[in-house]
Amino acid sequence: MKKETIIPGKKRITAQTVELYSSAYRIAWKQISPVRKREQPDIPLRLHACIRRQLKDGATDPLFIATEAFKALGENEPGTLSRAAH
C-alpha cells in the first residue's frame, strides 16, 4: 500500500474553498443558456479555469467570482447575475 506524500509548499484544499468553488460554479452555470452550452462544449472547462484562477488570486465572494467567470466567457446578457441571483 502506497503512503501519501505531502509536498512542501503545496496548499491543501479546504472545505471552505470547495464550497466557494461549488457556489460560484453553480451560479455561473445557471446563467449560461442551454443553446450556448450545446454550441460550445468547452464552456465547463473554461468556467472551471476562470474560477480556479480567481480562487488562487484570493477572491472570496461567490457572486463576484461567478460574475467574472461569466464575463470571461463573453456572456454579457443584460439582467444576468444580479445580486438577487445570489
Does 81 reside within a domain?
no
Q: What DSSP assignment string belongs to the chain?
A: -PPPPPPTTPPPPPHHHHHHHHHHHHHHHHHS-HHHHHH-TTHHHHHHHHHHHHHHTT---HHHHHHHHHHHTT---TT-S-GGG-
Q: What per-residue confidence (pLDDT) applies to 13?
A: 73
Does the pTM surpass 0.85? The reply is no
Does 50 reside within a domain?
yes
Whole domain around residue 61: which residue ranges? Answer: 31-74
The pLDDT profile of the chain, 86 residues, written as one tens digit per residue, is 445 445 455 566 788 999 999 999 999 999 999 999 999 999 999 999 999 999 999 999 999 999 999 999 885 544 444 444 44
Does 19 reside within a domain?
no
Q: What per-residue confidence (pLDDT) applies to 75?
A: 55
Total of domains in the chain: 1
Does 51 reside within a domain?
yes
